[in-house]
Structure 1
């Protein structure tokens, strides 16, 4: 199973559409970790599972969190602002454990990162608009197989792989 993960596009419709169009036929699921700043019926979000971010001003359009079972994995998606992810990952790690997640996806900090802790893989795809700690605007393709989760970071404009950020986690 392959999952396209984006976040923090902050109203950029063309850039978001380009990334989704580039990968739509090769992924099974597309998620947006919040701060799309778009309306739920926007054509750019057609077929995309979206959570609400702190800059999504029309509240109650999107759920605050999504929990999906994907074969052997449980995916949990939230924006991250309710879990103080700009300061620490402790609250979101507690939530991941609470909901029985193997993979936790979040945004908010605009920092592209992935790591594993206590049997859970955490993924922040960075920002399609305003990246922090790097110059590239980023997104993730996550490949799930029986014993591994492969997290590949890509540059928004060209889709080029960013090898130094990408990682494979074994289960």
Structure 2
């Protein structure tokens, strides 16, 4: 099972579209907030992706009715929790996020908000912030995440959003 994880597109429709188009065969797409407007536009242009696309509300997704936290069961008895992160203090610590994951019996926690990529494994929990597909704050190129869930376990990767050829 392959998940494409994006965050913080901040009205950069082109970057969002490039990532989706590169991974049309993915099982799930998860947007971690601050980009609901362009995500809605993309889904009107590619309606067949709607059933495979999930998102959470970010602090800049004004007037959004989306939930701030998403929990999903995955293949091979894995479970994820996804949130933008601003309500869990991810700028200073991941402890509240880890507590959220434990409360939801998740072994994968996805978050955004900081625009800084992060991929860690701590105490049986995979933590992934894919960075920002449009405006990273870590001096690295814009990025997104790929999560592969297999019988052997979970593999997380952060990859750059490459410019149009």
Please indicate, yes or no, whether the TM-score normalized by the shorter chain is above 0.5.
Answer: yes
**Structure-2 separation of matches of 1:28 and 1:156:** 19
Q: CA 1:91/1:126 → structure 2, altered by over 3 Å: closer, same or farther?
A: same
Pairwise CA RMSD: 1.7
| Unaligned segments of structure 1, at least 5 residues | 160-171
Matched, 1:69 2:73: yes
Give the match for residue 24 of structure 2: 24
Q: Greater helix share, 1 or 2?
A: 2
* Counterpart-to-counterpart distance in 1, 2:40 and 2:163: 27
How does the TM-score come out when normalised to structure 1?
0.86
Find the aligned partners of 1:39 and 1:7 in 2 and give their Cα distance.
12
**Structure 2: runs of 5 or more not aligned:** none
Number of corresponding residues: 157
Q: Which of the pair has the greater relative contact order for Cα pairs under 8 Å at 6+ separation?
A: 2
Deviates more, 1:37-46 or 1:92-101: 37-46
Q: Report the alpha carbon displacement of residue 143 of structure 1 after superposing the two structures with TM.
A: 0.6
In the alignment, is the contact (CA less than 8 A) between 1:65 and 1:78 conserved in 2?
yes
Deviations 1:57-84 (A, max 9, x none): 1231x11111110122101110000001
128, 133, 136: which one aligns with 2:138: 133
Deviation of 1:43 after TM superposition, in Å, equals: 2.7
Give the equivalent residue in structure 1 for 2:112: 107
> Where in structure 2 are the equivalents of 1:7-18 lying within 5 Å?
7-18=7-18
Instruction: After the TM superposition, list the runs of 4 or more consecutive aligned residues in structure 1 that deviate by more than 4 angstroms.
Output: none
Length-normalised TM-score, structure 2: 0.89
